[in-house]
Every structure is written in C-alpha cells, then in structure tokens.
Amino acid sequence: MLKFWKKKPPAEDVQAAVPAVADDAVPPVEAPASPPDAPVDEAATEETEADLAASAAAASEAGAPARRSWRDRLAGSAFARNLGALFVRNPKLDDALLDELETALITADVGVAAATDLVDGLRRRVAKREFADAGALLAALRADLVALLEPVARPLQVDGARPYVVLVVGVNGVGKTTTIGKLARRYRGEGRNVILAAGDTFRAAAVEQLTTWGERNQVPVIAQGTGADSASVIFDALQTARARGADLLIADTAGRLHTQSGLMDELAKIRRVLGKLDAAAPHEVLLVIDGTTGQNAVNQARQFREAIGVTGLVVTKLDGTAKGGVVFALAREFGLPIRFVGLGESSEDLRVFDATAFVEGLLPASLG
C-alpha cells in the first residue's frame, strides 16, 4: 500500500508545510536559513576551525545547534582517550611507548593483527632512528592510520541507475531505520526524488518510525504493516519508484542476527525478487554496524557479505563510548567501502566517511 505520495513541492512550500520538530530521530526538513541542517556539504568534512566558528556563529543566529567537529564528536571514544593519555604519560620515544601503543590500539578494537602490523612497522622505523621524538612517532602513526582507511573512504554514488536501489541491512538495533531517515533527508536536500520502503515488517515501531518520518518530510513511504512479507513490500516499493520516476529507493529490513540462517535467507529472497524488476538491483547493499560492537563487527560483516553481498558499510554510534578502532579492523579485513559514519543521533551527525578527519579526530592534536 502506498502510504501517501506528494509531488515534491518547491523548497519554500516544504518549509511552510513542515512543523518544527525537536525529535532528532525524526528530523524536520532542512531550513535554508539553518546552516547545520542544510543539505550536507561533503567539502565540509574538511572543516577548519574557522569554518566551524563561522558555522557556530551562523547557527546561533538561526537558533540552531552548530555542526560539531569530528574531533569534538570522537573525543569521548576509548581510542581518543587512551591514545591521548598514553602520549601524555609517556612522552619519551622508547620501547615502553611502543608497547603501550600496541596495547592501546588492541584495547580500542583495532584488532590484534592490525595493531601488531602498525606497531611493528613503527618499531622498525624507530630502530632506523627515523623519528626524533614521540611527536614524530605520532605523526607517522597518523599517516599510517590514514593510509589504512583511505582506500575504503569511497562515497556512495547514487547516480548510476534510476531508481538507484539501496538495501539497508544489519543486526538488531544498530541504527538502520535512523540511518535511512538521515540518508533520505540528505538526498532529498540535494533535490533528489526519494522513496522509502518499510521492509522491516518485524518490529512494529520500525514501520511507524519510517512512516512518521516520511510524512513529516514529504518523502513517500511504501509500507504494508507489521508481519507483511518484506520482499513483497520492497518489490512493491520498487514498482512504485519506477512508475514515479524516483531517483532513489532506500529499503529498510528487519534487524537479524548474522547467525539466524532463516532470516539471512530472507535477504537473498529480497535480492531475487528485486532482480525480477531490475537485474542490477539492489545497486547498493549497505550494512549498518554499531561502532560499539567491537570485534564481533568483523563476524557480522563476514556473514552478511556471504548471505547477500554487502557493497558498503555505515558505522554508527562512534560518538560516546564507542572504541572507534573497529573501523580500522573492518577496513583491513574486508576493504569494503565505508560510506558513512554516525557521530551522533541528529541527522547532521551522519557524515560521509573521511579518513583524514576521522583519524585526526581520534589522535591527540600535538604533543606538549
């Protein structure tokens, strides 16, 4: 059933039609006068302190919260705290610093293999007297970490097909539905015609969450309610998206444990059914991973990849208590593109993954 369809009105009409909503999980459509909620500018990931100050000033004039820096968002992570404390505690370049660095990386979920590789490389360079002090070691670590992530910092390109179909999968509670809301808002803000499919027919609140979000933002949501066949909802949504000439279809799916083979088979069914309408669909299978999961994230990625062929990752909840290191472990293990990271609950906190900004946000700015 098509919940509703409204032709996308001009931006100013949308503004007039949309009530102010305080709920971050269900964000209001962008207000042109509100810079932090404006369509997300990818260049802004390379924000400078001056950009942030300007953004904060403009935001405060508009009465909206300022867009926070990556460093600000990641400061609470175990990775940032451990590494910061380590270099303060041990500012001398010696074996103890290298040993502690290895432990800190492992503790932050970077993974034993990746942490050992990184620190062994640094040890060899210390032995060759490449570094004058701990500051030089920190700079080399920063460069190594960026080099590890750069190959996977490949943004999602949704222009390759019309409608471009994004299937969002992952275990329970990782932030799939919230991420879909944020993505729809981003792409709608870019002027694209977006449709959502409420394919999470298992959790009643998920259908409701997506439908409410769509109604408030004039994004059509195709839903059949709780208990419906997920593949049928998503098939129906693709038919509608094609009939309406939509640019983008984003489909939610129920959270499932990667160990539940019946539910994993359902994903294969969704792929088969979509393939009847468009052999290339879904064009992107986005696996959402909770950044607080730790090394189990690697198992999840492996199982979902085998079951449905993941083409991109979103790592959520990297703000707060996440260790952050799992991003490196995933990059090293699979080389799958990391499309977005979640640095908070509001829509502006879903950022296009930027390797340099991420590493800068985790490491101490400088020593001394």
Ligand X SMILES: Nc1nc2c(ncn2[C@@H]2O[C@H](COP(=O)(O)OP(=O)(O)OP(=O)(O)O)[C@@H](O)[C@H]2O)c(=O)[nH]1
Q: Which two tokens stand for residue 268?
A: 């294969």
CB 177 within 8 A of CB 200: yes
- Binding of ligand X at residue 214 (CB under 6 A)? no
Phi, psi of 327 (to 5 degrees): -60, -40
d(CA 259, CA 48): 43
Residues 297-336 that bind ligand X (CB under 6 A): 316-317, 319-320
Which of 90, 294, 288 minimizes the C-alpha distance to 200?
Answer: 288
Interface residue with ligand X among 28, 111, 220, 344 (CB under 6 A) is: 344
- Binding of ligand X at residue 174 (CB under 6 A)? yes
Which residues neighbour 42 within 8 Å (Cβ) at sequence distance 6 or greater?
155, 352
Query: Is 252 flagged in the annotation as binding?
Result: yes
Give the start-end residues of each E strand in 312-368: 312-316, 338-342, 350-352
Residue number, 72 or 278, with CB nearest to ligand X? 72
CB of residue 254 to ligand X, shortest distance in Å: 6
d(CA 180, CA 167): 10
Residue number, 36 or 170, with CB nearest to ligand X? 170
Query: Is 354 flagged in the annotation as binding?
Result: no
CB 284 within 8 A of CB 164: yes
Interface residue with ligand X among 325, 337, 342, 361 (CB under 6 A) is: 342
Query: Is 342 flagged in the annotation as binding?
Result: no
d(CA 42, CA 236): 32
Residue number, 111 or 170, with CB nearest to ligand X? 170
Residue number, 68 or 102, with CB nearest to ligand X? 68
Which stretches of 128-166 are DSSP H helices? 134-149
Residues 345-364 that bind ligand X (CB under 6 A): 345, 349
d(CA 20, CA 228): 32
Name the helix (H) or strand (E) containing 275.
Answer: helix 261-277
x/- map, 194-213, ligand X, by CB under 6 A: ------x--x--x-------
Interface residue with ligand X among 11, 18, 21, 25 (CB under 6 A) is: 25
- Binding of ligand X at residue 248 (CB under 6 A)? no
Interface residue with ligand X among 173, 275, 309, 335 (CB under 6 A) is: 173
Binding site for ligand X (CB under 6 A): 25, 170, 172-178, 200, 203, 206, 255, 316-317, 319-320, 342, 344-345, 349
Binding-site sequence positions? 170-177, 252-256, 316-319
Binding-site sequence positions for GTP? 170-177, 252-256, 316-319
